[in-house]
Structure 1
Amino acid sequence: MKLHPVDVKTLTPEIFQVFGTQNALLTAGDKTACNTMTIGWCQLGRIWNLPVCTVYVRPERYTYQFMESHDYFTVAILPAGERKTMQVCGTKSGRDVDKIKECGLTLCYGAGDAPFFDEAEWVLVCKKAYVQDMDPACVVDQVHIAPYYGEKGGWHRIYTGEVVEAYTR
């Protein structure tokens, strides 16, 4: 069954449960060039009376340059059996390998030519609404963040996007 558009207001809370059991692919770019990466951090909700999706990207990641240069991004939830795809997209850099081709993913495009994958169970197409760097000085409890920083890389940039389109099976 192909993905089809769905009204954002009709999405069920199931989509909130996939983070923690299934990872997702964050993709940014357009029809000329794009990159995707596995993400495990994502927040969904409302701000300014808009449905929003918030993702986090380190400046060292190749996807970061696409997030910075484009107004739209997508979050695609793949089926749980797509472990190899998640591993490739989470461990290899788009600077060195065409992850989309290697994983056999089928590109589709939403609003703003935002790329996503036909293999997804759900897709959110988001238009950037707010961008801010995380600030280590604002962390209240340092214990919880220790595994995520240090030698692993820089602090994430926060991207909150208005969900302008949604697709499901």
Structure 2
Amino acid sequence: MKNMTKIDPKQIDENVIRLIGSQWMLVTAGNPAHFNTMTASWGGLGFLWNRPVAFVFIRPQRYTFQFAEENSGLTLSFFGEEYRDALKICGSRSGRDTNKVAEAGLTPEPTPGGNVAFGEASLVLECRKLYAEMLRPEAFALPGILEQWYPTGDLHKMYVVEIVNVWRR
């Protein structure tokens, strides 16, 4: 990754609740020749199965879903506030219909693992899939969550991914 320093996942010291929930991230799957990205504000980072992990959620109707399904890896790219408009474009347009990466003014860069991240990102996590499962209505334990977030039944698929490389600007 150009102009970035590789760090150990244990050196990620940002507040991940703010990083994901407020600043958002781009989830990108595919390869440099054919990929898609989407804005996400749901997910998390942690430690599971003796590995640093992230978990992300993608609805099957999102174009990025097919890329996540077809590939073993994905990236999570985080940006400064000056890229808010670019993230809005990537979250409101479909890669099926437009080149939203170009429209957002972002520069795709290949990663050593054959994935895609963005040159403008301040933090990039390159990940490989460990586990994936569709959310199930019967598994929701807190009343109201299913009705509030999935009124039409369009549940996400959850991906638990191992963080294999991290770069920081």
TM-score interval for Structure 1 and Structure 2 normalised by the shorter chain: over 0.9
Matches within 5 A, 1:33-112: 33-112=34-113
Greater shift, 125-134 or 83-92, is seen at 83-92
Q: CA deviation at 1:81?
A: 2.1
Is the CA contact 1:28–1:67 (under 8 Å) kept in the aligned structure 2? yes
Runs of 4+ in 1 over 6 A off after TM superposition: none
Is the CA contact 1:110–1:165 (under 8 Å) kept in the aligned structure 2? no
Unaligned runs of 5+ in 2: none
The root-mean-square deviation of aligned C-alpha atoms, in Å, is: 1.5
Query: How high is the sequence identity, in percent, across the aligned residues?
Result: 35
CA distance in 2, matches of 1:6, 1:108: 18
TM-score (norm 2): 0.93
Q: 3-state DSSP class of the match of 2:160?
A: strand
Equivalent AA in structure 2 for residue 42 of structure 1: G
Q: 3-state DSSP class of the match of 1:160?
A: strand
Equivalent AA in structure 1 for residue 122 of structure 2: E
Q: 3-state DSSP class of the match of 2:21?
A: coil
Q: CA deviation at 1:13?
A: 4.0
Q: CA deviation at 1:158?
A: 0.6
Q: 3-state DSSP class of the match of 2:151?
A: coil
Q: How many residues align?
A: 168
Q: CA deviation at 1:66?
A: 0.1
What's 1:154 paired with?
154
Q: CA deviation at 1:103?
A: 1.0
Check if 1:19 corresponds to 2:20.
yes
Equivalent AA in structure 2 for residue 165 of structure 1: N
Unaligned runs of 5+ in 1: none
CA distance in 2, matches of 1:109, 1:128: 18
What's 2:133 paired with?
132
Quickly say closer, same or farther: Cα 1:13–1:81, change in 2 above 3 A: closer
Q: 3-state DSSP class of the match of 1:22?
A: coil
CA distance in 1, matches of 2:114, 2:52: 20
Deviations 1:117-155 (A, max 9, x none): 01111110000011111011000123234332123x611
Deviations 1:34-93 (A, max 9, x none): 000000001100111100011000000000000000000001111112121111111110
CA distance in 2, matches of 1:4, 1:36: 23
CA distance in 1, matches of 2:114, 2:22: 29
CA distance in 1, matches of 2:10, 2:50: 12
